[in-house]
Structure 1
């Protein structure tokens, strides 16, 4: 488990270093996650230790939302003062995510070959 956590943190650190060194507008953990994904593709998937460790982390994912909830409580006045831009950004980003997901799904389903059946021959 320690080795798998170290691997995850190393990829996050590498992502942070790349993001700061190149002054990229992408968060370091996102870059690290993409690098980890590429490494796992090359390697042929995660090992059992990484699979178990990530499963354990996902089981306790709700704990990671505690700091965000605390931030909402602390900055409640500011959120109340700027509610309109927040709501607009929330709806636009949700719509954009749905639209991109639908377009990607449509593109992927059109590229997939249609299955042939025995009755159709």
Structure 2
């Protein structure tokens, strides 16, 4: 299980480094996930250790978001000034992101079946 955690950590650090080095508009964590996806495609699958660590992280994801949710209560003034971008991000960008991700996943699955 330790090797799975180290793998996730290495890809996160690599993504942060690449995003900072090339001044990318994408967060380093996202860059790391893209690198991990490419690596898993080249490798041909997910190891048992990486799968166990990933399931563990998903299981406790709600706990990881609690600090962010608590911080919202202390930012009431900022939120009241920035309500329009927040509403647009929530009700427009989120569904668009879900649809695009779903289509991309279907494309990847069809591509994998052809191979």
Query: What TM-score bracket applies, with the shorter chain setting the length?
Result: 0.7 to 0.9
- Could you say which residue in structure 2 is the equivalent of 1:39? 39
Deviation at 1:36, TM superposition (A): 0.7
Task: Answer 1 or 2: which has greater helix percent.
Answer: 2
1:29 aligns with 2:24: no
Shift of 1:98: 5.4
Q: How does 1:1-121 map to 2 (within 5 A)?
A: 1-97=1-97, 100=100, 104=103
- In structure 2, list runs of 5 or more residues that go unmatched: none
Quote the Cα distance in structure 2 between the aligned partners of 1:28 and 1:57. 18
Residue-pair matches, total:
108
**Computing the radius of gyration over CA atoms, which structure comes out larger, 1 or 2?**
1
Q: 2: distance between equivalents of 1:40 and 1:99?
A: 23
Q: CA deviation at 1:95?
A: 4.6
- Over the aligned positions, Cα root-mean-square deviation in angstroms equals 2.4
For 1:52-105, what per-residue CA distance to the aligned partner results, in whole angstroms no more than 9, with x for missing partners?
111111111111111210221121221023223321332221353355467x38
State the TM-score, normalizing by the size of structure 1: 0.76
Q: Secondary structure at the match of 1:96?
A: helix
5+ residue gaps in structure 1?
Answer: 113-121
Distance 1:54 1:89, change over 3 A: closer
Higher relative contact order (CA 8 A, sep 6+): 2
CA change 1:15–1:79 in 2 (3 A) is: same
